[in-house]
Amino acid sequence: MTNKFPILLLICLIATTTHAQKRIEISHYLFPQFTAGNVLMKDGTLNPAMLNYNAITKEIVFQQNGQVLALADPALSLTDTVLISDRKLVPFDDEFAEVILNGDVKLLALLRCSVIPPGNPAPFGGTSQISSVDKISRLGGANIFYDLELPEDYKIETNYMYRIDTGSGWKKINSMKQLRKFYKKKSDRFDQYVSEQNITFDEPARIAELVQWMEAE
C-alpha cells in the first residue's frame, strides 16, 4: 500500500471564501472540525488528508493549501473507503454512508441535511424559503456551505436514514416505523427493547445496538 495523494490534487472543485456575516456553529458536517484520515482507493493506495463529510452537498471534502476542496471524479469513482478517525464511510448511490455494522448484517447510516436560508420577500408581506439542497445554486454565494460555520440567519435540519442488508439485498429504513416493520415477526421484542433502552432514530450507534439485539434471537 503506498501513500500518495496526487490524484486528489487534480480534482479540486471548490475553495473556501471569507464572509463578513456573523457565524454560528451548525452541524452540517459529520465532524466539528477537519480530521486526519485516509482515502483508500480500490487499487489499495492510501491517501492521507485532513477530511470531513459535508452533509449538505453530500461530498467528502479535504483541506489543501488553505482551501476546502471536494473529492470528485476521476478519484471519486476509484474510491473504496474513506477512513476518518475511527469511522468508516463508503460510496453509496450518489453520496457517502457511514458503516455502523459490517458482519452477517450490514447497516449503513446516511446523514441528511436540509438548509433553510433566510426568508425571501413574498407577496402579502410574507417570506418564502428554499429548503431543497438541489436549489443551492439559486441562493447565491453557495460556497458558504463549505465553511464549518454558516451565517446566523441560516437554519440547518439534520436527520439520519439507514440501509440494512441481512443477506437479501439493501433495504431502505427511513423511520423507526419502517425498522419495526422490517422486524414485524418479532415486533414485541422490538417494542420492548426500544422502550426499555430509550432508542431514538437519529442515533446511529443506538440503532446499531437495536439491530444487533434483534438479530441475536
pLDDT score at 72: 87
Which tens digits make up the pLDDT trace of 21-33? 333 344 688 898 9
Helices (H), ranges, 47-185: 176-182
**Which candidate, 18, 43, 1, 40, places its Cα nearest to that of 148?**
18
CA distance 180 to 194: 10
Residue 74, pLDDT above cutoff 70 = yes
Q: How far is CA 95 from CA 1, 20, 72, 191, in A?
A: 26, 31, 11, 31
If one counts every other C-beta atom within 10 angstroms of the C-beta of residue 95, the result is 16
Residue 53 pLDDT > 80, yes or no?
A: yes
pLDDT computed for residue 14 by the predictor: 31
Query: Hunting for cell 473529492 — which residue is that?
Result: 71
Burial annotation 166-198 (CB, 10 A radius, 16+ → b, else e): beeeeeebeebeebbebbeebeeebeeebeeee
Mean pLDDT of the 142-153 span: 69
Split at pLDDT 50, 70, 90, the class of 153 is confident
More confident residue, 139 or 160: 160
Q: Is 211 exposed, middle or buried (0-12, 13-18, 19+ CB in 10 A)?
A: buried
Q: Is the pLDDT of residue 140 over 80?
A: no
Residue 94 has a pLDDT of 87
114: Cβ contacts below 8 Å, ≥ 6 apart:
131, 132, 133, 156, 157, 158
pLDDT at 20 over 50: no
**pLDDT value at residue 214:** 97
Average pLDDT over residues 70-99: 94
User: Residue 176 has what pLDDT?
Assistant: 97
Tell me, yes or no, if the pTM score tops 0.85: no
Say what the pLDDT of residue 157 is. Answer: 82
3-state secondary structure (DSSP) of residue 36: strand
- Higher-confidence residue of 6 and 173: namely 173
